[in-house]
């Protein structure tokens, strides 16, 4: 969701007023820049305020735009915490110098090492799987196996995928580079492009709708979009009802996963409050909320998925360190460009 100039001005004025307020009034506040849509994050932030007494000032926007804003604001940024999606963006934020390390024994205990920054600049808070969505009436799941199999000529003209400019696809290719090597990732990208049913367009929901409408038989999507559509009612729910999910590479490296996550900004003036919020989001209540409400897998291994997520079946997840998805992003983009993945 992009923010208007007037909305930014109002938010800046509000934040400024907070920062110049007397210490007794401003201390129990945390200012959050969030790439997650307000509807997807505000309810759990309100629960944090109820439990802690710490008020959350929230600005939402496009992930790349928020990073650009943090860089331009520098040390004068009012933001204490950046909440964003995809390890690639979290990696970029660290590289841009807008995050500071957060040392937390609790977070190190509950967030697996491969789902957080190795020097504590950010922590994953929820997990999403990039899976194959397939038409129930046209595809036997026994025909499906791996991401690599999607290059088979039998899928010619049958695959829908969103643009190569999308960070989720870039991270998928980066994960392949990390596990299979650049040559294999390049061959895969070319093979996938050859099997496109249409030029890449729209978001993950649009790919699921296209499968449901018969425009293609398969699509690469993040699993939580499918869950959201099943909960939505109306046309989206009807489209998703015609589709099922398949978790690739179960006999090998496992299904590609990524994270949403958070880090404390370099400019933060409410560091302890920001730390308390991140630890709350990794706590049991928030982890269950991510699963029940947002259809994302808990980042914590000791928290069970929701009934809906469990109904899709257990799966083996790729254990590649997600920081590699950011480190290899530029190479992934280059490979996709060479494959003519628009």
Nearest to 186 by CA among 8, 25, 338, 13: 338
Q: Tell me what pLDDT residue 39 has.
A: 80
pLDDT by 10-residue block (mean), the chain, 342 residues: 38 42 57 88 94 96 93 96 94 96 97 96 97 97 97 97 95 96 97 97 96 96 94 88 96 96 97 98 96 94 94 95 95 97 94
Q: Tell me what pLDDT residue 27 has.
A: 62
Q: Tell me what pLDDT residue 21 has.
A: 37
Binding residue positions: 224-225
Q: Are 48 and 28 in contact (CB under 8 A)?
A: no
**Domains, the chain, ranges and CATH?**
5-127+258-307 (3.40.190.10), 129-255+316-338 (3.40.190.10)
**SS3 label, residue 67:** helix
Burial class (CB in 10 A: 0-12, 13-18, 19+), 100: middle
What does the buried/exposed string (b/e) look like for 203-232 if buried means 16 or more CB atoms within 10 Å of the residue's CB? ebbbbbbbbbeebbbbbbbbbbbbbbbbee
Number of Cβ within 10 Å of residue 281's Cβ equals: 26
pTM of the model: 0.87
Looking at the DSSP assignment, which residues form a beta bridge with residue 29?
Answer: 55
**SS3 label, residue 204:** helix
Binding residue positions for Fe cation: 224-225
Q: Tell me what pLDDT residue 341 has.
A: 96
Looking at the DSSP assignment, which residues form a beta bridge with residue 219?
Answer: 133, 160
Instruction: Determine phi and psi for 60, rounding to 5 degrees.
Output: -110, 150
Helix axes 223-232, 204-212, angle to 10 degrees: 70
**Dist CA 99 CA 74 (whole Å):** 11
């Amino acid at each position: 969701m992009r923010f208007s100039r007037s909305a930014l001005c109002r938010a800046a004025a509000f934040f400024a007023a907070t920062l110049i307020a007397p210490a007794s009034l401003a201390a129990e506040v945390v200012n959050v820049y969030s790439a997650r849509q307000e509807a997807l994050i505000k309810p759990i932030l309100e629960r944090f305020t109820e439990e802690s007494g710490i008020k959350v000032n929230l600005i939402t926007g496009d992930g790349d735009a928020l990073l650009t804003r943090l860089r331009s604001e520098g040390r004068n940024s009012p933001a204490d915490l950046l909440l964003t999606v995809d390890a690639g963006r979290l990696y970029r934020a660290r590289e841009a110098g807008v995050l500071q390390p957060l040392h937390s024994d609790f977070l190190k205990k509950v967030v697996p090492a491969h789902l957080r920054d190795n020097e504590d600049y950010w922590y994953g808070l929820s997990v999403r799987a990039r899976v194959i969505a397939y038409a129930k009436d046209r595809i036997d799941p026994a025909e499906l196996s791996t991401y690599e199999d999607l290059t088979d000529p039998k899928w010619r003209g049958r695959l829908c995928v969103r643009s190569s400019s999308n960070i989720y696809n870039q991270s998928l290719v980066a994960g392949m580079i990390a596990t299979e090597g650049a040559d294999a990732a390049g061959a895969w990208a070319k093979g996938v492009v050859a099997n496109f049913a249409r030029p890449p367009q729209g978001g993950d929901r649009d790919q699921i709708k296209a499968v449901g409408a018969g425009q293609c038989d398969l699509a690469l999507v993040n699993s939580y979009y499918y869950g959201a559509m099943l909960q939505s009612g109306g046309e989206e729910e009807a489209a998703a009802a015609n589709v099922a999910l398949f978790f690739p590479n179960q006999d090998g490296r496992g299904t590609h996963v990524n994270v949403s996550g958070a880090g404390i900004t370099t400019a933060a003036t409410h560091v302890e409050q920001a730390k308390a919020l991140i630890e709350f989001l990794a706590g049991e209540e928030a982890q269950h909320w991510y699963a029940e409400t947002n259809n994302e897998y808990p980042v914590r291994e000791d928290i069970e998925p929701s009934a809906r997520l469990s109904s899709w079946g257990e799966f083996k997840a790729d254990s590649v360190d997600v920081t590699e998805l950011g480190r290899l992003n530029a190479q992934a983009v280059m490979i996709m460009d060479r494959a003519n993945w628009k």
